[in-house]
Structure 1
């Protein structure tokens, strides 16, 4: 199960890099190339959404069926293990939410750049007429 979270963390890191590249100010030519590359990547990267949904369902199921260790009967080691599992689950939920948000940010930024480019071309055509 740890490999899934490593893959998801790698995807989130890659999305963060792409989001930073797309949003950083750069000359128009370089910016348009970066946005074009991100637009090509964005459609195959949509497969992260079902993967994240499955991971969230798995986390929810594990949370519902987790053994509780809140009474006086639990030893300190059991309580520590329980708290660690809660913290890992919270971290994984944050990772899933970040994956979805970063994907959406990149998608919207690429769409905005495309719309701006179309508007500039329309303005250019109107000036030529």
Structure 2
């Protein structure tokens, strides 16, 4: 199961880096190539959504089948293990949320940048006609 979380972490990191590179000012010379790379990667990154849903269901299943550790019925080591499990689940849920939000932001920013480029080209054509 750890490999799934590593893949999701790397995917969220790649999405964040691409988002950062698209929004940084001063990268106009490489922006066109960056936009084409990002647009070509949006479809494969769409697989993040069902993958995140699967991992979210996995977290929910583990939460429902987790043995409870309340009161004096468990030892301190079992209590610590229970708390670590809860912390891991919360961390993984945050990773899922981050991956989904980064994908949505990347999709939105890419479409906005493409639309701005199209509007700029239309503006240049209109100015050239006049």
Same fold, judged at TM 0.5 (above): yes
Question: Stretches of 4+ moved more than 2 A in 1?
Answer: 26-29
How far off is 1:72 after superposition?
1.2
Gaps of 5+ in 2: none
Is 2:28 the partner of 1:28?
yes
TM-score under structure 1 length normalisation: 0.94
Once residues 12 and 121 of structure 1 are traced to their aligned partners in structure 2, the CA distance between those partners, rounded to angstroms, is 32
User: How many matched pairs?
Assistant: 129
Gaps of 5+ in 1: none
Q: For 1:92-107, what aligned pairs fall within 5 Å after superposition?
A: 92-107=92-107
Per-residue deviation at 1:71?
Answer: 1.6
Rounded Cα–Cα distance in structure 2 between residues aligned with 1:9 and 1:37: 20
Offset of residue 82 of structure 1 = 0.1
Tell me what 2:61 maps to: 61
User: Structure 2-normalised TM-score?
Assistant: 0.93
**What is the match of residue 88 of structure 1?**
88
Q: Secondary structure at the match of 2:68?
A: coil
CA distance in 1, matches of 2:46, 2:59: 21
- Offset at 1:32? 2.0
RMSD of equivalent CA atoms: 1.2
Distance in 2, matches of 1:21 and 1:27, equals 8
Alpha-carbon distance in structure 2 between the residues aligned to 1:85 and 1:27 = 43
Tell me the alpha carbon deviations over residues 73-110 of structure 1, each in whole angstroms, 9 at most, x when there is no partner.
11000000000000000000000000001111111111
